[in-house]
Structure 1
Amino acid sequence: MILEKIKSDGLAHLSYFLGSGSEAAVIDPRRDIEAYLDLARRNGMRIVHIFETHRNEDLVSGAPALASVTGAKIWHGPNPAEPIVYADTARQGDGFAFGDARIEVLETPGHTDDSLSYALHDSSYDDGAVGVFTGDALFVGDVGRTDFYPDRKREVAGLLFDSLRKILSLGDQAILYPAHGAGSVCGSGMADREFSTLGHERANNPRLRIEDREAFIDAKVAEHHYQPPYFRLMEQLNAEGGGRSPRDLLPPPVGPEALYDLGGAQLVDVRGVADFAGAHVPGAYCIPSDMIAAFAGWFLDADRDIVLVARDADQAAGSTRTLARIGYDRVVGYHAGIVPVATKDRAFASVPLVDTQAVNERVDQRADRWTLLDVRSVDEFEAGHVEGAQHAYVGELPSAAESLAKNAPVTVMCGSGARASIAASILLQTGWTDVDVYLGSMKAWKAGGYRTIEGR
């Protein structure tokens, strides 16, 4: 029996290849399916089952594409309100055997109504489950968010409490295999590791240590999570089937002139914070390649073409692949670097970077009409921020910053400066003119020993 974890960076998505004998199953496949096919070929196995733990909101499922290539059957949880047209329904107590492996289905609603967990048993050593694939019900260090049904918030939080007890009943020996790791938008308190057991989680996971059902419900209802607009696109694609499987696509290179004659396309600079600050094409979004999964879905329109500015072809290909994983297929070209733009005597822009000393002086002097804009999450802001800072979450710009004067100076900050650079590009696109970025941001402020305040 073999079990391989396949991680999609950026999304912090975890999928699994499970094989025994000559047959294999894949749990929660991503849209680019080559990794699963390679594992099957290398191990002389045929993929016969595809198990989905739930309908994902943050990425496109690869189940339809994988089934079309392998002939495997797709299994998904019951969801009568929005049936998954490409899958068969698995229910509590269903079992699937291949080689020495046996999968038993647990219905574990709460995160979503259709959530399933899959207990893994080894028929040669069948004294309890070896592990459990929990999807987004249970993570390492956290549990799933329950905010997708606002009209039923207490009900679904209670359902998750019950589902977690069902999972824990498998025994402390069972290894935990969640669908996401730290950095995913599906939870905010995940541990920065991807291995654990139910016993360890029972003892250490803060949410699992709440043993009273009503107290657990209260805690979940009080949580604050953001829902990017692209979640609706993911829900649609993952109900209907996500279409083709993207390869390691490299969009065609385009010349400097194409960056100024976009024909309605969206220009996205994926090079990085320092690159964008130093020089960029006016009007470009700054979304570094390692932040595409978290933030592209807030700002980009999936129905419009996208042109990338990347450091090189490899970064362009990786960014295109990440965009495809979240349903953005219309990357029509890329340009490498900004120097060719400058040598063609085309206009380029920059964003000033400021340090802690400059920000502290402005705070002390209460600089006239100057705003320090903190674009971290509301939870981060309330846990500690610079006195006088105004809060507006980066994903909700520019509407969240409408109270700022567009002709007044703004310094944007976050945790380190990365999200602040994204926010600065949004502000510049929408009419703000005097914008700089506090590089280092809250990490630098704290390292300097400066005072922070809690709350709003």
Structure 2
Amino acid sequence: MTHSATPAGPVIVPIETPSLGDRSYLAHDGDVAIVVDPQRDIDRVLALAAEHGVTVTHVFETHIHNDYVTGGLALAEAAGAAYHVNGADPVRFERTPVADGDVIDVSPSMRVRVIATPGHTFTHLSYALEWIADDVQSVGVFTGGSLLFGATGRPDLLGHEHADALARHQFSSAHRLADELPEHTHVLPTHGFGSFCSAGSTGDATASTIGTEKRINPALTQDEERWVADILAGLDAYPAYYAHMDPANSAGPGAPDLSAPEAADKATLAARIAAGEWVVDLRTRTAFAAGHVTGTLNIGLDGQFSTYLGWLIPWGTPLTVLGESAEQVAQAQRELVRIGIDHLEGAATGTPQEWTDGALGSFERATFADLAQVRHHREVAVLDVRRVTEFADGHIDGATSIPLHELLGRLADVPAGEVWVHCAGGYRASIAASVLAANGHPVVAIDDSFGESAAASGLPVVAA
């Protein structure tokens, strides 16, 4: 979605970060621009502004983020822009404090109105983008973790003891936006594209308006008690690394160092694996299963790499990455600085044969149909690494449930013998299979769609 600057409105350009399920935004009038909720790697924001031939003069944060390290302060300093953060947030850096009702004049044709929308956090703000022509027109509202596409931001990230109160704030905030803004106003959330910051499903929507949300969003179509009860009952686990984001963002993170990490040779890699450090193979699950350095873990760049690495790694563990190319390593590094992993011990590129003198490890990949066939002939253990709520919605009869984020701490609970491991689509199963293989378990990774194939293959699928 990109809206063109015309006498009727500004250009609004979303900046996608798929691995975290987030969007940042650049909006401009052809001359000056604002940026909302920028990610840590601000070079791509500055490049986008240069591409559009505009100057960033204002940077806005909707809230102190829990799922990534912000680039807001660094971007504001690099661009010489004002940095707008809620004045009630206890941050340790210079900012331009804003509060409910403030209006920021960005240019003669563009201004931003601040709307308090607590719920995701107590101090959450939304920003209505207004265009000034013959009159003032509401164009879009940057809703951060408040009103999402068909959902809202989750209310429990500040602790379960606040979840009920924040859920009620979230309900009220959604209604405030719906009541105060015209139906044509574009809804421009930060979360909700696979982010664990959302409560409820945002589906496959890529755009929405206030009018659309009034018709489809449960927060706007259900009564408060039912909605709060449904939201609180549906809350699931969220990544462990979130605990480190608020302190980092409140301190005022600087720009990241994206210079190439030190090269690691075979002996260095072997020593790091032996020492219990993390050595992560960035290649696809297909490539990893076919051959890998024994003891390495597979978290592919083709999925939610930073989310799952940040969720699983014991915080502060030394990390080395293996990629097919320097470009893969650079992509991983970019992903990692977004969640505050700023230092890599090293990296190696090429093929597994170039990373070790030992015999390569491997494991089989299979489908649910293969599992159904095997179960006719012999007993095999089935390990389901989806989250608890996914397992409850339906699972293979007899499967052991160990959510992926609990696996490293529950290896003693893994069934003995050959283990067939699955998730919803294959990505998490490959991560789990690499963990099991590194710990000596004979494993088969099911690389298949649970929803489409499990029951269709004749496997007994039951609800909890």
TM-score by length of 2: 0.90
Match of 2:391 in 1: 381
**Equivalents in 1 of 2:403, 2:432: separation in Å?**
9
| Structure 1: distance between partners of 2:425 and 2:408 | 20
Look up the match of 2:183.
172
Tell me: CA distance 1:38–1:2, structure 2 relative to 1, closer, same or farther (3 Å). Answer: same
Alignment of 1:198-277 (within 5 A): 198-210=210-222, 212-247=223-258, 249-262=259-272, 265-277=277-289
Sort the Cα spacing of 1:444 and 1:173 in 2 relative to 1 into closer, same or farther, 3 A.
Answer: closer
Q: How far apart, CA to CA, are the structure 1 residues paired with 2:97 and 2:325? A: 44
User: How do 1:389-428 residues align onto structure 2 when only pairs under 5 Å count?
Assistant: 389-400=399-410, 402-405=412-415, 407-428=416-437
Residue 69 of structure 1 and its aligned partner are, at CA, apart by 1.1
Aligned counterparts of 1:319 and 1:217: Cα–Cα separation in 2: 38
- Answer yes or no: is 1:189 the counterpart of 2:201: yes
Give the CA deviation at 1:145: 0.8
Q: Which amino acid aligns with 1:422?
A: I
Counterpart in the other structure of 2:364: 352
Q: Indicate whether 1:317 and 2:317 are aligned.
A: no
Percent sequence identity over matched residues?
31
Cα 1:117–1:421 change in 2 (3 A) is: same
Query: How far apart, in 2, do the equivalents of 1:98 and 1:318 lie?
Result: 34
Counterpart position of 2:307? 294
2: CA distance, partners of 1:336 / 1:427: 24
- For residues 345 and 232 of structure 1, what CA distance do their matches in structure 2 show? 39
Cα distance change, pair 79–389 in 1 and its aligned pair in 2 (3 A) = farther
Match of 1:63 in 2: 72
5+ unaligned residues in a row in structure 2: which ranges? 1-9
2:296 paired residue number: 284
Classify 1:86/1:419 alpha carbon distance in 2 versus 1 (closer, same or farther; 3 Å). farther
Specify which of 131, 134, 146 is matched with residue 122 of structure 1.
131
Deviation track 1:160-205 (CA, whole Å, cap 9, x = no partner) reads 0000011112121101111034221222511323211111111122
> Structure 1 residue 132: deviation in Å?
0.3
Q: Is the 8 A contact 1:374 1:393 kept in 2?
A: yes
Structure 1 stretch 380-389 or stretch 107-116: which is displaced more?
380-389
User: How many matched pairs?
Assistant: 448
SS at match of 2:229: helix
> Which stretch of the first structure deviates more once superposed, 169-178 or 37-46?
37-46
Q: 1:402 to 1:184 in 2, by over 3 A?
A: same
Contact 1:356 1:444 in 2 (8 A): no
CA separation of 1:55/1:454 partners in 2, compared to 1, >3 Å: closer, same or farther?
A: farther
Write the distance in 1 (CA, Å) between the matches of 2:218 and 2:165. Answer: 21
Q: TM-score normalized by structure 1? A: 0.91
Structure 1's consecutive aligned runs of 4 or more residues displaced over 6 angstroms after TM superposition are: none
Deviation at 1:131, TM superposition (A): 0.9
Seen in structure 2, the aligned counterparts of structure 1 residues 408 and 333 have a Cα distance that, compared at 3 Å, is same
